[in-house]
Structure 1
Amino acid sequence: MTTDQTSSLLFGLAVIVLLARALGALARRIHQPAVIGEVLAGIALGPTFLHGAVSDTLFPDSIRPLLSALAAVGVAVFMFLVGVEWDAAMIRDSGSLAAIVSLGSVLLPFGLGILLAVYLMDDYGSGDHTSFMLFMGIAMSITAFPVLARILTDRRMTRSPLGVIALACAAVDDVLAWSLLAAVVAVSGSAGSDQWRILLAVPYLLGMFFVVHPLLARLVARRPSARMTPTVFAGVVVGLLLSASATEWLGLHYIFGAFLFGMILPRSGTEQVRADVQERLGHLSGTLLLPVFFLVAGLSVDLSGLDVGGLGALGLILLVAIGGKFTGAFLAARFNGMPLRQSAALATLMNTRGLTELIVLNVGLQLGFLGPDLYSLMVVMAVVTTAMAGPLLSWIIGRPATALQPTSRSTAPFSTNAGRPVTASRRAAPVDKTNEGNRDT
């Protein structure tokens, strides 16, 4: 790196952090997740305003590859932390309701997304029509677990029956959506001449679950009072990076390896270690790395040339994204005996997309599933669906002060169709800890 590159990079990072924190704080002042402000900061620095003059000045082409590299590290760390928060026990505690609602909130928007892709094919389709349709279906099916957790935390609902069910549904939703995306990436041929490597994905998964996970569990069992040390922290970071590197080499994407390594970390006996890892990595990721990702994502968003046709396409995208997700979750919840208001509230929570959607969209842009114009429209959809969740939830079940809370006499206000009561777990429901000051990405 030259002196000019180094100076430009460091100055640009300072601008990114300051603007992200300022707009994130402003978003929280108006009762919105900070991710809304941070995404808007990235878009504001992009080509949408002043034809990119600001971004060209602050972030010359010579440093953009470096920013992209930092953004990739930030996304990998974020996906690892999401995997750490994923709790299979919480899903089991919720009974069949979480699985059924998750299926409904994925399958319906997935199918509608495919139909929308067929309609948009002529104007926005990629060369690989099948991959384009499948990817659009996945993009419509995403729920952002961290944003949902933050909304529930702000409303003091993480331990309420509705909050526990919503978190469990979002966790199942994550796995379904990531699995579908991995399958699409695998069959799309994005790895080129090295496509044969995808055949190693199955033994890799088996090795992670049946070799690496048991080994880690044995190490923890030998040290029941495991505490965070520089060596332990380094081991976690190395494991995260190696797993992400492996799935990227296999032709999937590094986000899957990062998420998977977070999932397989032992839960029992590692509570303090996981909390420390989340805090240390979360502060770095939320303060520096993720704002860089928002900038890189914003540099690809150009709404300056949006015309009537583009507005029509955006309207259809919003209709399918919001209507499909809400209807699928709402009908599944009602089918399982959940009361009307709780069903509507749960369907609203499942509509949050946040950073998770942006990660999926960037995968699509990198692999050529989405063009720049459609990518820009989809980013707008991600912002709108995230911003509307809080106000709509307040309209359905009231402000946080009057939101539904668990009572001492009632832990099963609704039940599954199998007659098994759905009770709030006595454990604290998982809360996103990617950044204590900004835990809503």
Structure 2
Amino acid sequence: MTSSQAAALLTGLAVVIVAAGLLGQLARRFGQPPVIGEILAGILLGPTLFGGALSHALLPTDIRPFLAALAEVGVAVFMFLVGLEFDRTLVRGTGRIAASVSLASLLLPCGLGMALGAYLLRGHPSDNHTGFVLFMGAAMSITAFPALARILTDRDMHRTPLGALALCCAAVADVLAWSLLAVVVAIVAPGGHPERALLFLPYLLLMCYPVRWLLGRLLARPAVAAQPTAVLLATVFAGLLLSGAATEWMGLHFIFGAFLFGAVVPRAGSERLRADLHERVGLVNNVLLLPVFFLVAGLQVDLSGLGWSDLGQLALILLVATGGKLVGAYAGAFAVGLDRRISSALAVLMNTRGLTELIILSVGRQLGILDERLYSLMVVMALLTTAMTGPLLEAVYPRRLALRATADDMTRRRRERVAVGDSAAGAK
């Protein structure tokens, strides 16, 4: 890195912090997650306004790879912190529910997305029709796990049964969607290694047992539990980065590895470590690194040349994306006994996109599957589906009810609905 690049990078980071912070706070004032404002900051700094002159002046092209690298580190740290706070006891006994919601919220939007992809081929020709259709199915079936976690955290719902169940469903659905993406990459870029995804299950077992046991032994030391040392913090950071690298190598993206490493850290004995990580690392990550990712993604969007036909395609994309997720997730939750209110809340949460959607869209852009116009339309879809999550969730399941609910309440209401259904069936 040259001296001029270093100066431009530091200046660019300052611009990112100010722009993302201001628009993030503005979004929060309107009841939206800060990610909405942060992505909008990237779009406003990108080629949409003034033909990209503003972005080239403030964020020269030669420093953007450095910004992208910082952004990925920020996302990895954020996902680790989300996994660190993931309370596995909240989803005990909900495996059937999570499986049903995950599969239904994946299969329906995926099928509708592939049908939409076949239609969009008319206006967005692709050299690989099969890859394009499969990619649209994967893109429509994504739930933005990090954006969902951030929405739940902002609403103090991440430790509630509904929040934990939504995170579990989103994690399962996203792993399946990323597996489909690995197939797409194999079709479009034959040089890939989709067979590596088969190693995820052995890797999951390795993390949940030997690695978790070793971390438990390390945290059980009295001196470590009382005051986390620099060596422990270095070990934790190395672990999350290596875990992210492992899942990235498997083709499942590094965010899952980072989250998984945080999730396997034993809760017993790690109270001080959690507090230190959130107080020191979490604040810096949220203020400095994480907004960079949303900004870098927004810089690739150009809305200046969209016409009426593009707006018609956007409406169709929104209909398929939102309808597929809402109907699929609701049907999956209601089918296993959850009542209408909780099923509706889960459906709304599963419709959240954002970070993960931007990641998969960037993959499509890099592979040449998406042209600039379709990429921009899909980013707008990700923004709008994320923006509608808060208002819809408050309408179907107000925060005061979610915060008062317990896992026993959810299970009891499920049993009551199933019992009523069985009684009705017996009467017939």
TM class by smaller structure: 0.7 to 0.9
Cα separation, partners in 2 of 1:407 and 1:259, compared to 1, 3 Å: closer
The Cα of 1:53 is off from its aligned counterpart by 0.8
Q: Answer whether contact 1:186 1:251 (CA < 8 A) is retained.
A: no
TM-superposed CA distance for 1:275, in Å, is 3.8
Aligned equivalent of 2:175? 178
In structure 2, the partner of 1:42 is 42
Quick one: structure 1 residues 353 and 199, their matched pair in 2 at CA, closer, same or farther if it must change by over 3 Å? closer
2:162 aligned residue:
165
1:217 corresponds in structure 2 to 216
Give, as a single letter, the amino acid of the residue that structure 1 aligns with 2:239: G
Deviation at 1:155, TM superposition (A): 5.2
Q: CA RMSD in A?
A: 3.2
Q: In the alignment, which residue of structure 1 is the partner of 2:262?
A: 262
Residues 320-335 of structure 1: pairs in structure 2 closer than 5 A: 320-335=320-335
2:372 counterpart of 1:372: yes
Q: Is it true that 1:286 corresponds to 2:286 in the alignment?
A: yes
Query: Are 1:383 and 2:383 counterparts?
Result: yes
Q: TM-score, normalised by structure 1?
A: 0.82
Match for 1:415: what amino acid? R
| Cα distance, 1:367 vs structure 2 | 4.1
Contact 1:70–1:292, Cα closer than 8 Å, also in 2: yes
SS in 1 for 2:306: coil
CA distance in 2, matches of 1:328, 1:382: 18
- Three-state SS of the structure 1 residue aligned to 2:413 is coil
Q: Distance in 1 between matches of 2:290 and 2:12?
A: 14
| Residue 114 (1) aligns with residue 94 (2) | no
* Mapping 1:198-209, distance limit 5 Å: 198=196, 201=199, 204-205=203-204, 207-209=206-208
In 2, Cα distance between equivalents of 1:407 and 1:350:
19
In structure 1, how many angstroms separate the alpha carbons of the residues matched to 2:204 and 2:394?
41
Q: What is the deviation of 1:209?
A: 4.2
SS class of match (1:181): helix
Deviating more after overlay: 264-273 vs 280-289? 264-273
- Deviation (angstroms), 1:305: 1.0
Please report how far the alpha carbon of residue 419 of structure 1 lies from its aligned counterpart in structure 2 after TM superposition: 5.2
Q: Deviations over 1:264-297 (max 9, x none)?
A: 3333332332343244332222111122212211
Deviation at 1:38, TM superposition (A): 0.7
Partners of 1:206 and 1:290 in 2: how far apart?
29
Aligned to 1:195: 193
Counterpart-to-counterpart distance in 2, 1:208 and 1:272: 22
Whole-Å separation in 1 of the counterparts to 2:116 and 2:194: 32
Structure-2 change in CA distance of 1:98 and 1:15 (3 Å): same
Contact 1:84 1:263 in 2 (8 A): yes
Runs of 4 or more, structure 1, over 6 Å off, are: none
Structure whose residues are more often helix by fraction: 2
Q: Which runs of 5+ in 2 are unaligned?
A: 420-428
Alpha-carbon shift at residue 338 of structure 1 (Å): 3.5
Q: Matches of residues 94-105 of structure 1 in structure 2 within 5 Å?
A: 94=94, 96-105=96-105
Q: Aligned ranges for residues 3-402 of structure 1 at < 5 Å? A: 3-94=3-94, 96-124=96-124, 126-149=126-149, 151-152=151-152, 163-185=160-182, 188-189=185-186, 193=191, 195=193, 198=196, 201=199, 204-205=203-204, 207-222=206-221, 225=225, 227-250=227-250, 253-397=253-397, 400=399
Query: Aligned AA for 2:177?
Result: L
Distance 1:31 1:278 in 2: 24
Paired residue type of 2:343: S
Supply the distance in 1 between the matched residues of 2:349 and 2:184 (Cα, whole angstroms): 31
Aligned CA distance change for structure 1 residues 89 and 292 (closer, same or farther; 3 Å): same
Partner of 1:438: none
* Aligned mates of 1:272, 1:91 — CA distance in 2: 24
User: Can you list the C-alpha shifts for 1:65-108, whole angstroms capped at 9, x where unaligned?
Assistant: 21122122222223333333444432224463333223222221
Distance 2:158 2:254 in 1: 30
Distance 1:135 1:80, change over 3 A: farther
Q: Name which of structure 1's ranges 367-376 and 61-70 shifts more when overlaid on structure 2.
A: 367-376
Task: Point out the more displaced range, 78-87 or 377-386.
Answer: 78-87
| Separation in structure 1 between the aligned mates of residue 351 and residue 192 of structure 2, nearest angstrom | 37
The TM-score, its normalising length taken from structure 2, stands at: 0.84
Query: Percent identical across equivalent pairs?
Result: 54
Q: Check the 8 A contact 1:226/1:270 in 2, yes or no.
A: no
Q: 335-344 vs 228-237, which deviates more?
A: 335-344
CA distance in structure 1 between the aligned counterparts of 2:197 and 2:157, rounded to whole angstroms:
43
**Aligned in 2, Cα 1:270/1:191: closer, same or farther, shift over 3 Å?**
farther
Asked which structure has the greater RCO (Cα within 8 Å, sep 6+), the reply is: 1
Per-residue Cα deviation, 1:183-236 (whole angstroms, up to 9, x for no partner): 532662377656388388356555444543333233334558364221111111
Identify the range of structure 1 (125-134 vs 61-70) with the bigger mean alpha-carbon deviation: 125-134
Contact map agreement 2:71 2:292 (CA 8 A) in 1: yes
CA distance in 2, matches of 1:154, 1:319: 27
Letter in 2 for 1:136: M
Give unpaired runs (5+ residues) of structure 1. Answer: 421-441
Distance 2:278 2:359 in 1: 20
> Residue 436 of structure 1 corresponds to which residue in structure 2?
none
Counterpart code for 1:312: G
- Match of 2:214, SS? helix
**Larger CA deviation: 229-238 vs 240-249:** 240-249
- SS of the equivalent of 2:193 reads helix
- Contact 2:79–2:146 (8 Å) recurs in 1: no
**Conserved in 1, the CA contact under 8 Å of 2:339 and 2:414?**
no
CA deviations on 1:310-340 (whole Å, 9 max, x unpaired) are 1121111100111111111222333344443
Shift of 1:54: 0.4
Which amino acid is the alignment partner of residue 291 of structure 1?
P
Aligned in 2, Cα 1:213/1:64: closer, same or farther, shift over 3 Å? Answer: same
Of residues 47-56 and 149-158 in structure 1, the stretch that sits farther from structure 2 once superposed is 149-158
Distance in 1, matches of 2:252 and 2:405, equals 46
Shift of 1:42: 0.8
Matched-pair contact (CA < 8 Å) for 1:27–1:37: yes
In the alignment, the residues of structure 1 paired with residue 99 and residue 197 of structure 2 have an alpha-carbon distance, to the nearest angstrom, of 29
Mark the CA change 1:218 to 1:96 in structure 2 (over 3 Å): closer, same or farther.
same
Deviates more, 1:266-275 or 1:307-316: 266-275
SS at match of 1:300: coil
Contact kept in structure 2, 1:110 and 1:140, CA below 8 Å: yes
